Structure 1
Amino acid sequence: MSGLNKKLEQEVSAFQDLQRDYSKAVSSLQQLESQLKENDLVKKEFDLLDQDAVIYKLIGPVLVKQDQGEANVNVSKRIEFIRNEMERLEKQVKDLSEKQEAKKLEVVKLQTAIQQAQQAQEASA
């Protein structure tokens, strides 16, 4: 029976690791969603600007003049990168969720087996 208990401890530990990884992935996904919204707003603001408008980029504590076309391209590339990263994380979250479910079933099966073994031991005593 101690073999079952040891196996249960290992499975619970693995399940907790999966939960931690899942939480990290969800947190990262939320952060990316926030960044995407921010960059979409910047892109919309750029679309409203006149052709001769001056754009400044904050680099450290300094505002540096930036070409409008270059700024548009940079924001578009950033949006594309964020979307690709979000896709990757969404797949990872789905995968971790499925692994969590499978691990949870393993833990429940082991708990049931331990309980049955205890009941059988008590019945034979």
Structure 2
Amino acid sequence: MAQIQQHLQTLSDEFTRLQKDLQETVASRQRLEAQQEENLGVQKEFGKLKDDETIYKLIGPILLKQDRTEAESTVNGRLEFISKEISRLETQIKETQDKIEKKKGEIIQVQTSAQAAAGAGGQPVAA
């Protein structure tokens, strides 16, 4: 019985770890989505600019003039990178959710067999 309890504790610890991993991955995805929205806003602003308007980039406490094509290219590159990262995290979230469901099934199976063993051991034997 002690072996079953230890196995159940191990499964429970793994289940908890998987849930923590899932929470961290979801939080990462949320941060990326916020960055994506911010960059989409910048991209939208580029569309409103006239050709002769100047673009500045904030670097620390200093505003530096930046070439429009370079600025647009940088934002587009960021958006592409963020989209790929979000896709990767979506896959990771799905895989972790699948692992959680599998681990939950294992825990239920061990609990059920432990209860069955305890029930079978506690019943009187008919003579």
Using structure 2 for the length normalisation, give the TM-score. 0.94
Q: Which runs of 4+ in 1 moved over 3 A?
A: none
The structural deviation recorded for 1:63 is: 1.2
The structural deviation recorded for 1:116 is: 1.4
Which residue does 2:70 correspond to in 1? 70
Matched, 1:14 2:14: yes
The structural deviation recorded for 1:121 is: 2.3
Q: In structure 1, the residue corresponding to 2:123 is in which secondary structure?
A: helix
Q: Which deviates more, 99-108 or 53-62?
A: 53-62
Which residue does 1:41 correspond to in 2? 41
Note the residue ranges of structure 1 that are not aligned, 5 or more in a row.
Answer: none
What amino acid does structure 2 have at the position aligned with 1:83? S
The structural deviation recorded for 1:122 is: 2.1
The number of equivalent residue pairs is 125
Matched, 1:118 2:124: no
What amino acid does structure 2 have at the position aligned with 1:91? T
Q: In structure 1, the residue corresponding to 2:64 is in which secondary structure?
A: strand
Which residue does 1:2 correspond to in 2? 2
CA RMSD in angstroms, aligned pairs only: 1.2
Which residue does 2:83 correspond to in 1? 83
Q: In structure 2, the residue corresponding to 1:58 is in which secondary structure?
A: strand
The structural deviation recorded for 1:113 is: 1.3
The structural deviation recorded for 1:119 is: 1.6
Q: In structure 2, the residue corresponding to 1:65 is in which secondary structure?
A: strand
CA distances 1:54-96 after superposition (whole Å, capped 9, x unpaired): 1111111211111111100000000000000001000000000
Distance in 2 (CA, whole Å) between partners of 1:122 and 1:84 is 57
